[in-house]
Structure 1
């Protein structure tokens, strides 16, 4: 596996997952799982800052199946059960001796599903976990509109579907809604990241399946599977999951710690990297000193 620049191919469920390594090749492993429509670039800042703060770490960041450079898994529906199965297979390949795991947003659901199926990390970190039902409450109308958007794309020919799903104006609107920082340079950088990497999916059908998976479950459903030390990191301005639901998730996971980052929304991995990395590094180091 290479160091943060060129990907390696990891055999998983009949295909090859592309993954990037940051930090020490033989150190304790932390697997990072990115969110919906992203790829490893979304967590690259977290990975780089983590190995700068804790150079002993071996941080592995894969592209989820069907996103970035990882192909879709052939012959399978990309539901949350499949993504959980994939993570168990991937972890078994890259860290058979043990690991910690981190999931952001949709990645938190992938981690939760994998735990319910038997994944056994030493420690778990969830950033902006999906703790509120997307089809209920104030976000329900927006979710139904998004479902219609992805369904419409799935009905179009491939080229037209990619044009709709990758429409720069639509992607920019999504980015503007999610970004909470008032720093114009940081906002411009976030929009650039979304423009560059938000549409690197394998095909519209897989994207629709993954979207359905992302809005059909919450981490809270899998709370009993979190039997290891768990750290939750949330922004107090997250439009996807209100803070009250993150507090409820903390109560549901035995012994879970919750760190709330003020002035930040669903893009902690872009807007509050230093703060998040400080919490993660301290949490992981407590395992060593315990």
Structure 2
């Protein structure tokens, strides 16, 4: 599993959104690395991480290897993260995730809550997909395998990934996100969509987590709007909510300084 690491202090693992990779955290990471040891992995099949989870399998027992390499699932992606923590000898971390990264963070919480010292959820949701959403994901996965992803994937995702203000006032951010989307391998895109389509509801997992939790949402997010974020914060026993104006589904990319400024005080409270 490929990852980017910088800074020192509290270990903070940041899991990226779909269809991007760890580079989406680059500018926000710069605002956090004086306070935290920031670790941003590429999830399986995206960025520079292999689709087969090869090194994760080599560290696992045979039965675990079959589970990790099997059918696309958020739990398999979460197992990759836990293997990375073992590899880095980190028994406990603050765990953050944006969008799909939030789903994977909930998967880690489901498998090993004792490894999570604090939870940061960014523009994500706990509920599973409905039938229409699931069908749309599977259609995208099939198309990616048939045609590749050049052009159409960015064209179809960018309108909802970024907020209105970003589309109107931040052309460099739009171009950067398009570049990230275009860089993702078609087989990784297909795997991720199928994994998200099959994910379980994680509401009870969040309800059982009593550790510190921060929910961040872009005020202009059309995919997981602020009312969804309020629901997440209400479910979490120690949940706090921050809404960032002028941003959509990817606040760490759209307004990285503001995002980092919202997270830093919460991290300071964790010590």
Q: Secondary structure at the match of 1:122?
A: strand
What secondary structure does 1:263 align onto? coil
What does 1:95-134 align with in structure 2 at a 5 Å threshold?
A: 95-119=89-113, 120-134=115-129
CA distance in 2, matches of 1:133, 1:250: 17
Tell me how far apart the structure 1 counterparts of residues 231 and 166 of structure 2 sit (CA, whole Å). Answer: 31
TM-score, normalised via structure 1 length = 0.78
**Alpha-carbon contact 2:12-2:96 (below 8 Å) kept:** yes
Q: Determine the C-alpha separation between the residues in 2 that align with 1:253 and 1:221.
A: 9
Deviations along 1:36-84, whole A, 9 cap, x unmatched? 1211111111111212xxx142111111111111101254333111011
- 1:117/1:169 CA distance change after superposition, 3 Å: closer
Q: 1:67 to 1:183 in 2, by over 3 A?
A: closer
CA offset at residue 145 of structure 1?
A: 3.9
Unaligned runs of 5+ in 1: 1-16
Cα distance between partner residues in 2 of 1:186 and 1:94: 40
- With 211-220 and 57-66 compared, the bigger mean Cα shift is at 211-220
What's the C-alpha RMSD, in Å, of the aligned pairs? 2.4
Matched residue, 1:207: 189
Structure 2 unaligned spans of 5+: 55-68
**Alignment of 1:135 onto 2:119:** no
- Pair 1:177–1:97, CA change in 2 (3 A): closer
Cα contact 1:179–1:187 (8 A) shared by 2? no
The structure-2 alpha-carbon separation of the partners of 1:197 and 1:184, relative to structure 1 and needing over 3 Å to count, comes to closer
* Kept in 2: contact 1:132–1:241 (CA 8 A): no
- Give the alignment's TM-score, normalised by structure 2: 0.83
In structure 1, what is the equivalent of residue 252 of structure 2? Answer: 269
Q: What aligned pairs does 1:221-260 form with structure 2 within 5 A after superposition?
A: 221-260=204-243
The 1:263–1:192 alpha-carbon spacing in structure 2 relative to 1, beyond 3 Å, is closer
> In the alignment, what sits opposite 2:4?
20
Alpha-carbon contact 2:122-2:216 (below 8 Å) kept: yes
- Check conservation: 2:140, 2:190, Cα contact below 8 A: no
Q: Looking at secondary structure, tell me which structure has more helix per residue.
A: 2
Q: Counterparts of 2:240 and 2:202 in 1: how far apart (Å)?
A: 15
